[in-house]
């Protein structure tokens, strides 16, 4: 009787995709299996897609068998310390079978295995509770050989060990269907898969990719010719949710696609995607997988819904841009063609489109456009819209014709109706240099009623008109500059603006800098507008080193003073009280207690007030400064009055509150 046999060997198997199963090389043992125990050690088993090292087989007298593998490589995956137990193991000259088998990696799924040597037929069945079944049948003698896998209520989480740990791994859900594989000496030559997914869930470690309750059908057919695969696939995603940073999508998508794969490049010859509540999109593409680079591509869609298309597929990528709060409506046709690392053609047609900014900065309605852009050809785009708004100002209907040649766009003239006037834009030129957009133009603003302007902006009613000219505006590398001096006419005076620069105008925190010089403003019109109390005269206001961040002032040096010249100078008691409240408490008390309170109006010689803003503190001064006090209104005439300010340092927020109380309550707060 043989008590123990130890054999060390190395077997190289090259023809069978499941060659790991040939560890049952005990076929070559001539000793009958009636021994108490037989131990077999196999150093190495290798095949083109399979290797196993450190194999140990123990055959017990009662007919059971134990298998252990130190390291198993298959399908680019590695398993270590694999253990298999067969309660009933049979090996003879015709077949090898394992009944009531158990794999330690999936202890809840007992299996049955059989392999016939002459016919080279394989049968493998794994079953578990809840009617779960994984069944594999293979005929390796046939030419081509064939293997079929049947899945019934298969738990998706069992696939996690076969997938890359860097991607989303299934955690729940079931699969039903079949997988049929054909092959030859060169390996797998044909794959046919028909699978149904139910309540499938998956996630990756980062939490940036996840799926929940996915339901649908997947069909794949692929044939290999030489080194090239021709494939066809169909996906019907019926339900569930998918988060793929930053996209969050729901079921209702379908995909039909076909193409080729040669190991380096993926070619999509035709694909049709139906996007729920958007429309149908057709595309083809050539993708360099190794370099993760799109070589060629084309996308075509007709009558697409912009509302859902922009909200679901474009807006998630714009969270950090100025368009993050924008909404689109209407329909569009698009034809996009990509080649040689750049877009070659973009044909875009818009029908009854609306663009609305959620922060109420702009809005355009009734947009209709035909934009036939080509990288190498010259064309003309036709753009028109019915009405809109810009910073609260209503815009009238207009039409533009834009000349296009590659990355060069020219709009010779354009008129934008604005209230009862219009903004005329001349010589608008936009082009791209070294992947940076730059543009420039000049414009003129014809006379606009200040009453209509103030009503549109919800300001206190103003009188007079607004007009002006902009000599040149340019934009480059996020910087918008005004070359020259802007000229506007308002409150019967002039407003000059120079050195204006606006950085990142389309970003979250635009920054504006420049200087303002206002001359000969009519104080009667100005104070009447803001219910400040009446002041008659003329005023000059200069604002230098102005800087605004997110349209809020953080720095400036502002000086207000009476204009030179002869004109009527009168100030009402109400205006005196309001001015005094800006300079601090206490300055009006003497006026209220004196006999001067019987007068409604006073004469003055000069008015002056300045504020230098730094670090949220306004350092104030007036016409004359003496120590810690300063003169805001210097008296003159009969009766005359002088207004004194007592606080040199005033918090900017506090000063704004004082101005707000003056404009809203129309009275000063006297202490």
At 465-488, the pLDDT tens digits run 778 888 889 998 888 898 888 777
Lowest pLDDT segment from 167-181, 312-326, 360-374:
312-326
What is the band of 26 on the pLDDT scale with cuts at 50, 70, 90? very low
Dihedral (Cα; 474, 477, 480, 485), 10-degree rounding: -50
Closest to 428 in 3D by CA, of 415, 405, 412, 417: 412
Q: Is the pLDDT of residue 10 over 80?
A: no
When pLDDT is averaged across residues 98-107 and rounded to a whole number, the result is 88
Instruction: Give me the pLDDT at residue 279, please.
Output: 96
- What are the sequence ranges of the domains in the chain? 1-116, 510-665
Distance, CA of 319 to CA of 246 (rounded, Å): 9
Q: What's CA 420's distance to the chain center, in Å?
A: 39
Q: Is the pLDDT of residue 420 over 70?
A: yes
What is the band of 372 on the pLDDT scale with cuts at 50, 70, 90? very high
Instruction: Tokens 């793929």: give the residue.
Output: 244
When pLDDT is averaged across residues 637-664 and rounded to a whole number, the result is 76
pLDDT tens digits, one per residue of 485-537: 877 778 888 888 888 999 988 777 889 999 999 999 988 887 776 666 788 89
Confidence (pTM): 0.72
Distance, CA of 300 to CA of 129 (rounded, Å): 48
Mean pLDDT of the chain: 84
pLDDT tens digits, one per residue of 388-403: 998 788 999 999 999 9
Pairing of strands 253-261, 247-250: unpaired
Instruction: Give me the pLDDT at residue 661, please.
Output: 66
Instruction: Tokens 């150093």: give the residue.
Output: 43
In this structure, are residues 344 and 338 in contact, taking their beta carbons and an 8 Å threshold?
yes
Distance, CA of 25 to CA of 55 (rounded, Å): 11
Q: Is the pLDDT of residue 197 over 50?
A: yes
Q: What's CA 203's distance to the chain center, in Å?
A: 21
When pLDDT is averaged across residues 622-631 and rounded to a whole number, the result is 85
When pLDDT is averaged across residues 536-559 and rounded to a whole number, the result is 92
Instruction: Give me the pLDDT at residue 663, please.
Output: 58
Dihedral (Cα; 505, 506, 510, 514), 10-degree rounding: 10
When pLDDT is averaged across residues 597-607 and rounded to a whole number, the result is 80
Distance, CA of 576 to CA of 601 (rounded, Å): 9
Q: Is the pLDDT of residue 108 over 90?
A: no
From the CB of residue 112, how many other CB atoms can be counted at a distance below 10 Å? 17
In this structure, are residues 579 and 643 in contact, taking their beta carbons and an 8 Å threshold?
yes
When pLDDT is averaged across residues 310-325 and rounded to a whole number, the result is 85
pLDDT tens digits, one per residue of 552-570: 889 999 999 999 998 889 8
When pLDDT is averaged across residues 43-54 and rounded to a whole number, the result is 71
DSSP string, 245-272: TTEEEES-EEEEEEEEE-SSEEEEEEEE
The percent of residues in the chain predicted with pLDDT above 90, rounded, is 46
When pLDDT is averaged across residues 375-379 and rounded to a whole number, the result is 93
């Amino acid at each position: 009787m043989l008590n123990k046999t130890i054999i060390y060997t190395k077997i190289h198997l090259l023809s069978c995709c499941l060659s790991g199963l040939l560890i049952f090389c005990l076929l070559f043992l001539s000793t009958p299996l009636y021994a108490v125990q037989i131990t077999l050690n196999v150093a190495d088993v290798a095949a083109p897609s399979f290797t196993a090292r450190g194999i140990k087989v123990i055959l017990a007298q009662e007919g059971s068998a134990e298998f252990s593998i130190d390291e198993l490589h298959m399908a680019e995956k590695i398993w270590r310390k694999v253990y298999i137990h067969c309660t009933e193991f049979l090996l003879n000259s015709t077949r090898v079978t394992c009944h009531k088998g158990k794999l330690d990696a999936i202890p809840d799924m007992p299996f049955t295995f059989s392999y016939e040597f002459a016919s080279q037929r394989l049968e493998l069945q794994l079953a578990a509770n809840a009617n779960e079944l994984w069944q594999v049948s293979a005929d390796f003698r046939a030419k081509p050989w064939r293997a079929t896998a049947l899945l019934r209520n298969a738990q998706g989480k069992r696939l996690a060990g076969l997938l890359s740990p860097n991607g989303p791994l299934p955690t729940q859900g079931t699969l039903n269907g079949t997988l049929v594989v054909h092959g030859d000496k060169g390996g797998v030559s044909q794959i046919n898969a028909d699978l149904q997914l139910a309540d499938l869930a998956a996630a990756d470690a980062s939490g940036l990719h996840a799926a929940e309750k996915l339901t649908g059908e997947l069909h794949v057919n692929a044939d290999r010719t030489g080194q090239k695969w021709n494939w066809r696939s169909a996906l019907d995603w019926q339900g569930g949710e998918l988060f793929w940073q930053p996209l969050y999508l729901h079921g209702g998508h379908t995909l039909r696609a076909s193409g080729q794969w040669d190991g380096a490049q993926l070619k999509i010859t035709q694909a049709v995607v139906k996007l729920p509540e958007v429309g149908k999109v057709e595309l083809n593409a050539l993708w360099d997988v190794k370099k993760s680079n799109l070589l060629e591509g084309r996308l075509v869609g007709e009558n697409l819904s912009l509302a859902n298309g922009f909200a679901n597929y474009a807006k998630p990528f714009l969270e950090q841009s100025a368009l993050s709060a924008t909404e689109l409506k209407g329909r569009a046709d698009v034809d996009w063609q990509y080649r040689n690392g750049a877009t070659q053609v973009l044909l875009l047609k818009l029908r009854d489109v609306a663009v609305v900014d959620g922060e109420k900065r702009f809005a355009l309605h009734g947009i209709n456009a035909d934009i036939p852009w080509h990288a190498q050809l010259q064309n003309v785009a036709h753009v028109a819209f019915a009405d809109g708004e810009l910073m609260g100002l209503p815009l009238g209907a207009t039409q533009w014709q834009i000349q296009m040649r590659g990355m060069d766009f020219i709009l010779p003239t354009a008129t934008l109706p604005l209230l009862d006037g219009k903004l005329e834009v001349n010589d608008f030129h936009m082009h791209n240099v070294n992947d940076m957009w730059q543009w420039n133009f000049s414009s003129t603003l014809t006379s606009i009623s200040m009453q209509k302007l103030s009503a549109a902006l919800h300001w206190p009613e103003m009188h007079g008109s607004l007009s002006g000219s902009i000599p040149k505006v340019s934009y480059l590398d996020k910087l918008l500059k005004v070359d020259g001096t802007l000229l506007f006419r308002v409150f019967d005076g002039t407003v000059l603006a120079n050195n204006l620069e606006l950085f990142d105008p389309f970003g979250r925190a635009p920054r504006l800098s420049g200087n303002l010089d206002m001359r000969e403003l009519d104080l009667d019109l100005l104070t009447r507008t803001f219910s400040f109390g009446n002041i008659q005269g003329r005023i000059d206001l200069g604002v230098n080193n102005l800087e605004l961040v997110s349209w809020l002032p953080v720095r400036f040096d502002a000086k207000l003073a009476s204009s030179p010249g002869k004109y009527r100078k009168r100030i009402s008691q109400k205006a005196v009280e309001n001015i005094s409240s800006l300079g601090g408490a206490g300055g009006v008390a003497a006026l209220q207690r004196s006999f001067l309170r019987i007068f409604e109006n006073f004469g003055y010689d000069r008015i002056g007030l300045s504020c230098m803003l730094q670090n949220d503190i306004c350092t104030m001064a007036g016409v004359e400064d003496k120590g810690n006090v300063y003169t805001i209104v210097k008296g003159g005439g009969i009766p005359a009055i002088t207004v004194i300010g007592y606080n040199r340092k005033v918090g900017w927020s506090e000063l704004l509150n004082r101005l707000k109380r003056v404009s809203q309550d129309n009275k000063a707060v006297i202490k």
